[in-house]
Amino acid sequence: MPTRLRPLIPRLSHRQAASRRLVTLVAAVSFVAVPLVGAGCSTTGEPAASSVAPDTTTAPAAPLPTVAVTYSVLASVVRELVDGVADVVTIVPDGVDPHDFEPSARDVETLTNADFIVANGLHFESGLDSALEQLREAGRPIFYAIDHVTARLISTDDDGHDHGAEHSDEHGDEHGDSKDGAVDGDGHDHGAIDVHLWTSPATLVDMVAPLATEMGAALNVDLTAAATDLTAALNALDSEILDVMATIPNCELVTGHNELGYFAERYGCELIGTVIPSSTTTAEASAGQLAELKKVIAQRSAPVIFTSLGTPRAVAEQIARESGVKVVELSTHVMGDAESYGEFVRRLATTIAGALT
């Protein structure tokens, strides 16, 4: 009997060994799994606090109201007034002449969807006149800057000189139609109101308070403090430009068109001639007017022709060659790479002062 059982003992030992290895493997797996179970429960059997961070996502902020401004320089001033409370969009792209800009369907849609609109007025952005008038008749809030400043009249006589005069009368419901003057067959403006009000910070000061009042009411925000700050900034800028221009002993300007009237009157300059004898770049000069301009340049010893957006470059360069003067480009209608209205005006003043000294 013992002899027959002896061979079975090794086989039983192998099975026991295998069994022990299986038990050891299960125990090891169980040991590894314990921490995973413990992550969901406390040692007391109560559910443990979740290690997943709570959802702190907040609802997106409501979009700001939109203020549409017709051109870039005016838009930069408006942006300073509503910084943080409204988004400002510009209709006429910077670098495009506002005098002859024609809006697309998308531009009109942007105006239509705006909560408030700021325009220059007096047909400066004439391509937008129809859309703006329709929106005004529909009761949309539109602020025309020219209605809230002391405007200047342009009376251009036969010698091409600009004899400006202040004009503070109301401009009528059509924003200058009854006061806009006429352009006769020789291209002269007789009694037109100058539209280029942004070239003088002192002129813009007058519009800040009414703009803040009307825009604040439309947007349901209080812009009183912002208006006070902007007024102070414009007055400081005006003083700075006065100091810059005081360095010029004789500030006589020949310009692309009649665009620097407000600037000239405020800072002691005289407009003695223009390549385009008009307040708009859509006009043209006759051969006789260009010949007269060359005479003025010679008589007054003007050293520079200041050109800008809309000036016929070839015409200006030809006059400059024949008159022995230089051509200097000014940024009068566009911001370019200027980051603020203040920087825009400073560049305008320093460019003029540098060319004339």
Q: Is 331 helix (H, G, I), strand (E, B) or coil?
A: coil
Which range has highest mean pLDDT (17-31, 34-48, 183-197, 247-261)? 247-261
Judge whether residue 273 has pLDDT over 90: yes
- Give me the pLDDT at residue 5, please: 34
pLDDT of residue 130: 96
Name beta bridge partners: 273. 254
From residue 8, how far is each of 13, 46, 127, 288 by CA, in Å?
9, 52, 109, 132
Q: For the residues 196-212, what does the mean pLDDT come to?
A: 98
> In the predicted model, what is the mean pLDDT of residues 209-236?
98
Whether 321 and 315 have beta carbons less than 8 Å apart is answered as: no
CB-based burial label for 351 (10 Å; 0-12, 13-18, 19+): middle
Q: Could you tell me the CA-to-CA distances from 296 to 176, 274, 278, 312 in Å, in that order? A: 31, 10, 17, 19
- From 24-28, 41-45, 107-111, 199-203, the region with the lowest mean pLDDT: 24-28
Edge-to-edge strand ranges of the sheet holding 151-155: 165-167, 151-155, 189-193, 182-183
Question: Which pLDDT score is estimated for 192?
Answer: 87
- pLDDT band of residue 279 (cuts 50, 70, 90) is confident
Predicted local distance difference test score (pLDDT) of residue 281: 84
Residue 94 one-letter amino acid: D
Q: What is the mean pLDDT of residues 192-211?
A: 97
**What phi and psi, each to the nearest 5 degrees, are found at residue 339?**
-90, -5
138-166 per-residue burial string, b: 16 or more CB within 10 A, e: under 16: eebbbbbbbbbbebbbbbbeeebbbebee
89-141, pLDDT tens digit by residue?
Answer: 999 999 999 988 999 999 999 999 999 999 999 999 999 999 999 999 999 99
- Burial of 348 from C-beta contacts in 10 A (0-12 / 13-18 / 19+): buried
- Domains of the chain (ranges; CATH) run 66-356 (3.40.50.1980)
